[in-house]
Structure 1
Amino acid sequence: MLRKEFRIILLSLLVSFLLTAAKFTAYFLTHSVAILSDALESIINVVAGAFACYSIYLAGKPRDENHPYGHGKVEFFSIGFEGAMIFIAGCLILVKAGQYFTGAHPLEDVMQGVWLIGATMLVNLALGVYLVRVGRSLSSITITGNGQHIMTDVYSSLGLIAALVIIHFTGWTWMDPLVSVIMGALILRKGYQMLRRSISGLMDETDMQVVDKVISILSAHRHETWIDVHNMRVQQYGNNYHIDCHITLPYYMELSQAHEQLKAVEVLVDNGFPGSEVEFFIHADPCIPSCCHYCQLLNCPVRKDAFTGKISWTRENVLPNRKHGE
């Protein structure tokens, strides 16, 4: 049985193929360069959707000896490929629009083009909202990125429809290449954003939203023996997460007790990311006298200093590689 993610992206691919055909039909009816720009971007939807299908298939393969962290990082290649294709499409659109600026060109059957583009916009709106919502629930950057790209297509189609209606009632054909230039610039911007997201993922750039979520989960269920958490690092592989951190525990705690505490941390965070697999590598640090003033284990038999107050866990004290008292 195909994975849910694969079936979703396959649906996106099939819909994008049909909508691309409809947009080229609108272009041949109207000879509008702005509609051609929209159709060229839709070709990118099809190509990127095909690559996304393969990346999701590969990301779903189990870990092996050559890929101990799994194959999930291929999703960053997928979104990078899609971003590069969008960027190229934007450049082609700007070149084509520049050619049309050199001379007037007649438009035909503009309102038929409006109705066709309007129909594709509504279908893309439903598909884009669905992909973004499902992609976030599944923690799939490929599905989410594909949905965001399609939503960009929706906004550009809306602007295109408005321009075509104005052209139809005013005869201002010079607006056609102008709208194409605007669409090309917006597409270039979106392509850059997707390339930036791909590079940051491949370079293991920290996702602060994920860090904040982990800190929030641990803070909400904070145990008195968890004196502090520090040196936290988060990596994402597809919809899986690898988290490293150090936790300071009472130095006299037995190994079996320390293991139970670390296991409790793993279970808490894993439950906080439903639908994802969370792998924890936790290093247990022994407490030192400088920890006593913020240690909440009030009945500690070896306390050196009085408890002066709880230190809230934030990015500022969880990410650095040092105990809070140092």
Structure 2
Amino acid sequence: MDKQGAALLSVFSNTTLILFKLIAGVVMGSVSVISEAIHSGIDLLASIIAYFSIRQAKKPADSDHPFGHGKFENVSGAFEAILIFLAATLIIYEAIKKIIHKGEIESIEAGIGVMLISAIVNLFISSKLFKIAKKTDSVALEADAMHLFTDVFTSFGVFLGLIVIKFTHIYILDPIIAIIVALMIIKASVELTQKALCDLVDKSLPQEEVKVIEDIIKKYSQVTSYHKLRTRKSGDRREIDVHIRMENSTTLIDAHNLCNMIEDEIKNALPNSYITIHIEPEDEK
């Protein structure tokens, strides 16, 4: 399954779960179950955004976007994080209203069943999305998978809370659980924002990847030194440029062949890398 197929799978699963959660939450009068429906609603919107951003990011470079469209995925991740934060705020607001006005919950069994099914489904879908996101190095798909994985914990938390309410009849636990769910969502939102913004502001590749690049360059004896190594991420694309110095006697053909070997080795170690190598004579200052 490719990135687009995974995003569509997420859209389908979220749509189904929203309907079940919303119906159960309204019938029960449970703010924690309704908050989970809102959470899934935001996940659905995030999945749709991820799907279209992945389609956009796949477009080849053009005159307006000479470096490609990869950062559409990063923009998508940042926007999804904002949506998650807004959903959490809404959940907290509704939970506080429920605490103030109180009220009982009916048909708890329906909520228990829906939450358990939701946790199981989201565990399966998020695991699949994480696997594909890692394989394709997709920020947008990883953000979508993280949303669903958060849903696993929140749905299971609501599931356990409803069981406790069923046997204790302590109904105030319902909005309290909803607030706990919201706080977990906010935590996920902050983490997603940090990850998405790192690439948008052209943060360097992780240190371990930079070291891989440096080790490859150093292994070639024809390279007397290197400098101005710059790296960044654009969606699933790694962009690398570096200046290397060679002996003054090196022919143009030999320099060209050496650069090709360095590029090929870096691409094998770090797939989807786009590399620019600037050659300088050894005695250049």
Query: Deviation above 6 Å: which 4+ runs of structure 1?
Result: none
Identify the match of residue 256 of structure 1 among 250, 253, 256.
253
How far, CA to CA, are the matches of 1:62 and 1:104 in structure 2?
56
Q: Aligned residue for 1:25?
A: 23
Q: Aligned residue for 2:205?
A: 207
Q: CA deviation at 1:39?
A: 0.8
State the Cα deviation string for residues 2-47 of structure 1 (Å, max 9, x = none): x922121111111111111111122123211111111101000111
Q: Aligned residue pairs: how many?
A: 284
CA contact (8 A) 1:218 1:265 kept: no
Q: CA deviation at 1:135?
A: 0.5
Mapped pair 1:272 → 2:279: no
How far, CA to CA, are the matches of 2:169 and 2:222 in structure 1?
75
How far, CA to CA, are the matches of 2:248 and 2:25 in structure 1?
73
Listed as ranges, the matches of 1:126-165 within 5 Å are: 126-165=124-163
Identify the match of residue 91 of structure 1 among 86, 89, 97.
89
Aligned to 2:204, the other structure's residue is in SS state coil
Listed as ranges, the matches of 1:178-257 within 5 Å are: 178-208=176-206, 211-216=207-212, 219=215, 222-257=219-254
Listed as ranges, the matches of 1:56-71 within 5 Å are: 56-71=54-69
* Amino acid of the structure 2 residue aligned with 1:197: K
How far, CA to CA, are the matches of 1:194 and 1:78 in structure 2?
11
How far, CA to CA, are the matches of 2:23 and 2:231 in structure 1?
47
Q: CA deviation at 1:228?
A: 3.4
Q: Aligned residue for 1:41?
A: 39
Q: CA deviation at 1:288?
A: 5.1
How far, CA to CA, are the matches of 2:32 and 2:224 in structure 1?
61
* Amino acid of the structure 2 residue aligned with 1:25: I
Aligned to 1:102, the other structure's residue is in SS state helix
Larger helix fraction of residues = 2
Instruction: Give the TM-score taking structure 2 as reference length.
Output: 0.93
Cα RMSD of the aligned pairs, angstroms, is 1.9
CA contact (8 A) 2:50 2:73 kept: yes
* Amino acid of the structure 2 residue aligned with 1:69: F
CA contact (8 A) 1:218 1:269 kept: no
Q: Aligned residue for 1:305?
A: none
CA contact (8 A) 2:91 2:179 kept: yes
How far, CA to CA, are the matches of 1:177 and 1:283 in structure 2?
61
Larger CA deviation: 39-48 vs 103-112 = 103-112
How far, CA to CA, are the matches of 1:207 and 1:160 in structure 2?
39
Aligned to 2:226, the other structure's residue is in SS state strand
Mapped pair 1:285 → 2:283: no
How far, CA to CA, are the matches of 1:109 and 1:102 in structure 2?
22
The sequence identity of aligned pairs, in percent, is 27
Q: Aligned residue for 1:172?
A: 170
> Higher Cα Rg: structure 1 or 2?
1
* Amino acid of the structure 2 residue aligned with 1:133: K
Q: CA deviation at 1:56?
A: 1.0
Aligned to 1:8, the other structure's residue is in SS state helix
Larger CA deviation: 84-93 vs 223-232 = 223-232
Q: Which runs of 5+ in 1 are unaligned?
A: 290-322
Aligned to 2:223, the other structure's residue is in SS state coil
